[in-house]
Structure 1
Amino acid sequence: MTETLSTENGRTVLRMRRELRHPVERVWRAITEPGELRGWFPAAVEVDLRLDGPITFTFEEEPDAPVDEHGSGVIRAYDPPRLLEYTWGDEVLRWELVPAAGGCTLHLTATFDDRPGAASFTSGWALCFDALEGLLSGSAVPQKDYAPLHEHFVKVYGLDRGVVQDDGGVRFERQLVRPKELVWQSLAGASTPSAGSPPPAGFVAKGIDAGPVTDVVEPERLTYTWPHGEVTWSLRDGNGGARLVLAQTGPAADYLDAWRELIESLAADLLTRDVQA
């Protein structure tokens, strides 16, 4: 399987490919029929298989199931058994099957706006493709561990890098693999930060002269001052774990590497933490 990530017309485009030892017609049924999709697709699907036909996606009500805010779409391209393209909320998924010696090649092109979530999408589809292979072959395929797979794609796509804003501040947006409550524990340690107190060391990058906490809402937000502005950590529920946004205002470009080191250390620590802890 191969994966590439690009930006096209202002949107993020993920391309994945999987070689399958099964004929096009068999794979086509697996990617279009709801009963077959149930064995590998991330959501239950209801679909009217025709151009402009409606399609709906429903996640099972499980504690760890992702939150679907845009659970419907429409078929935009339909050429059986070769091509199927549909929307899923704001996302566009394009499935193409190409005959190959001994089977066929499955191409997935996903177009979306949430670039920081690209490692989550890639990892999720990689696991789905494993399940698809198991469905097609009638035998179990060893399942990979989502968390290290996610972190691998973060590095491959460069999603661990922050940006310097036009005003000189810096910003990181980083998808993590554990819930925000566990992320907060890792950052705060045994401390219970409050307004007026120093921020716990986990929230401070090397070289920053941290002032007092000015705002804290556990486990979602912490802000403290530094001599030239503010530092704000924000955590919210994301796809597969917490979404972290770190912003430092003021002339902060010199701290970009220090923040990256701190955030990646946090991400590595989270890989060792049991999600049930």
Structure 2
Amino acid sequence: VSDFLVGLIVMPFQILFSEPCWLLGDLVCALYYLLPFITISASIGNMVMISVDRYVAICDPLQYPTKVTQKRVQISVLLCWIYSVFYSCLILFDNLKQPGRYNSCYGECVITVNGAFDLVLTFIIPISSIIILYLRVFVVAVSQARSMRSHIAAVKLQRSVTVTVKKSELKAARTLGVVVAVFLICYCPYYCVSLSGYYLMVGSSANFFVFFLVIFNSCLNPLIYAFFYPWFRKSIKLILIVTLAILRPYSRECNLL
């Protein structure tokens, strides 16, 4: 949902920055930056929750149905969005309180955020959590694959199954690498700029490209999911392209496998 909102709301406004002058006023400028901060924070939070979900599913599969229930998932998603709204309003408080205070001339749309504070809460802590969880998942997956290989070798089918097991190990490693690498590629330039100074000027011509990369990450996420997961491609067809079955009462019973 957060990635969809970035494409639906944030990206069209981003086109306005191709114009030499911002024409919608200082208040709209501040509100415009509030939306991507909320959706981007929610997107990062969703990535962390997905990592936790995969960790429990693989490392503690017997307890997964009791630990990860529909109610707990709904509460977690709701808390993630509440936190994203609160955090975004907090980090943009000065800009929302006095819109346009950091503009150097009429027609600019520039805000200032605390780069060090933003770096810790939306990059270092989430990416560290994601990497630690996925590394743990990968170690357990490799261990389980080796156990399966040893068991199958006992019934003299090692050669035919070893190839399959190795492919699954490579796919797990490749998926992990792509998820983490794309996140780092899109976010590192932004946070490298934030490290250069205590406050970061978002919207200035010098920082336009790095902020665009952060937004562009939300466009890449659905492509990554579609590439690795056939069920995701099928769900997109049901939602947007073919039948709009997702809007019908029986949509939860659709077979995506």
Shared fold (TM-score, shorter chain, > 0.5): no
| TM-score of the pair, normalised by structure 2 | 0.26
Normalized against structure 1, the TM-score is what? Answer: 0.24
